[in-house]
Amino acid sequence: MDAAEQILRGNRLALARWLTQIENDLPQGQILLDQLFSHSGHSAIIGITGPSGSGKSTLVNRLALELANTENTNPISIAVLAVDPSSPFSGGALLGDRVRMRDLMEHPEIFIRSLATRGVLGGLARAANEMVLALETAGFDIILVETAGVGQSEVDIARLAHSTLVIEAPGLGDDIQAAKAGILEIADIIVVNKADKSGADATARALQAMLQIEMELKPVPNSNQCWKVPVIKTSALNSEGIPILKQTIQQHQDWLRASGEWQNRAQARMRDLFERLLQENFFRKWQENLPEFEKDQLLAAIQSQKISPYRAVRQILSD
């Protein structure tokens, strides 16, 4: 049985090895995706983002369990991709999200994969999109993607996930912080976690007010067809608010399908992936043909103020 067959049959070691190949940009990884790509497109992708300290991993832990809890109906298979930042100095990373996911680790059928950003900004890793594709072909019903959570520019997740959850917590900054561009704008659902802490209600109210202003600033002709971003309070540690969150996610997914947004987002995601792969491959190909000596010479000329960087680049491009 070849690797593709094994993956389709649920062999998780084969899947894990494939994810490594994709992450390291190895040809075997690409070949497998060529073979299995037609099996993708059937998973619900849920993004979880938010500042460090908001309790994302703890929430993912409880949410995944809740999502997997289908009682009498058909079992739902779940995969989790947890991203953590790479050190810009050593290139290494401490991938510690599993510490908060102990409950999930007791369910070996829930697939958890930790990955490092490896120098890419935006909250995800370079190959996160392709790794999600791989997980889709392996047949997971739901794929949770937790971003690295180190800044406000973590918006790439919105272009990958169907539903994006932004997790906030009381005491992480005042409401002006919340209004800063980026992270709130990508939310399909806002979660105020650590709801047991003081200030949680105030935080939720401030976020509601922010959303209200957003809605008034951007009136939409058919506002009944719009999705109204809700603010949900949870305490992941105490398992509170999780069933409501699960329900809200389901409602969002239903709305996505009914409104055609599901298709729009999936198509936008593929467009992004295609563009990025084209860029990377063109650049790599071009770099291979670039004469190192000429490049070094031009660099030396720039560094001794003899020619401008723009001129140097034009010269290389015109070769």
Partner 1 sequence: MNRKIRVLIAKPGLDGHDRGAKVIARALRDAGMEVIYTGLRQTPEMIANAALQEDVDAIGLSILSGAHMTLIPHVMELLKINGQTDICVFVGGIIPDEDARALLELGIRAVYGPGTPTSKVIEDLMRFVQ
Q: Kindly tell me which of 89 and 310 has the beta carbon lying closer to partner 1.
A: 89
Task: Tell me how far apart the alpha carbons of residues 135 and 141 are, in angstroms, rounded to a whole number.
Answer: 9
Judge contact between 78 and 61, C-beta under 8 A: no
- Using CB under 8 A as the binding criterion, the count of chain residues that bind partner 1 stands at 33
Shortest Cβ 199–partner 1 spacing (Å) = 28
Report residue 167: phi and psi, to 5°.
Answer: -100, 125
Exactly one of 56, 113, 252, 265 binds partner 1 (CB under 8 A); that residue is: 113
The whole-angstrom distance between residue 103's C-alpha and the CA centroid of its chain comes to 22
Judge contact between 129 and 68, C-beta under 8 A: no
> Around Cβ 133, how many Cβ atoms within 10 Å?
23
Instruction: Say how many residues make up the chain.
Output: 319
Give the C-alpha distances (Å, rounded to integers) separating 279 from 134, 219, 295: 21, 36, 20
One-letter amino acid identity for 117?
T
Tell me the torsion sign for CA atoms 37, 5, 134, 46. positive
Shortest Cβ 211–partner 1 spacing (Å) = 36
Shortest Cβ 39–partner 1 spacing (Å) = 20
**253 is a site residue for partner 1 (CB under 8 A):** no
Task: Tell me how far apart the alpha carbons of residues 27 and 32 are, in angstroms, rounded to a whole number.
Answer: 9
Q: Kindly tell me which of 126 and 233 has the beta carbon lying closer to partner 1.
A: 126
Residue ranges in 17-46 that form contacts with partner 1 under rule CB under 8 A: 17, 19-20, 23-26
Secondary structure of residue 115 in the 3-state scheme? strand
Q: Kindly tell me which of 99 and 244 has the beta carbon lying closer to partner 1.
A: 99
Q: Kindly tell me which of 102 and 228 has the beta carbon lying closer to partner 1.
A: 102
**96 is a site residue for partner 1 (CB under 8 A):** yes
Q: Kindly tell me which of 95 and 226 has the beta carbon lying closer to partner 1.
A: 95
Judge contact between 164 and 157, C-beta under 8 A: yes
Q: Kindly tell me which of 174 and 280 has the beta carbon lying closer to partner 1.
A: 280
Shortest Cβ 194–partner 1 spacing (Å) = 20
**288 is a site residue for partner 1 (CB under 8 A):** no
The whole-angstrom distance between residue 200's C-alpha and the CA centroid of its chain comes to 26
> Around Cβ 144, how many Cβ atoms within 10 Å?
25
Exactly one of 69, 87, 263, 264 binds partner 1 (CB under 8 A); that residue is: 87
Q: Kindly tell me which of 111 and 178 has the beta carbon lying closer to partner 1.
A: 111
Shortest Cβ 173–partner 1 spacing (Å) = 28
Q: Single out the segment in contact with partner 1 by CB under 8 A; choices: 110-118, 128-136, 157-165, 306-314.
A: 110-118
**10 is a site residue for partner 1 (CB under 8 A):** no
Q: Which of 45, 63, 224 is nearest to 132 (CA)?
A: 45
Q: Kindly tell me which of 95 and 172 has the beta carbon lying closer to partner 1.
A: 95
Q: Kindly tell me which of 92 and 221 has the beta carbon lying closer to partner 1.
A: 92
Task: Tell me how far apart the alpha carbons of residues 194 and 59 are, in angstroms, rounded to a whole number.
Answer: 10
Task: Tell me how far apart the alpha carbons of residues 189 and 252 are, in angstroms, rounded to a whole number.
Answer: 8
Shortest Cβ 26–partner 1 spacing (Å) = 7
Exactly one of 65, 67, 83, 112 binds partner 1 (CB under 8 A); that residue is: 112
Tell me which residues touch partner 1 (CB under 8 A).
12-13, 16-17, 19-20, 23-26, 86-87, 89-96, 98-99, 102, 105-106, 108, 111-114, 116, 118, 126
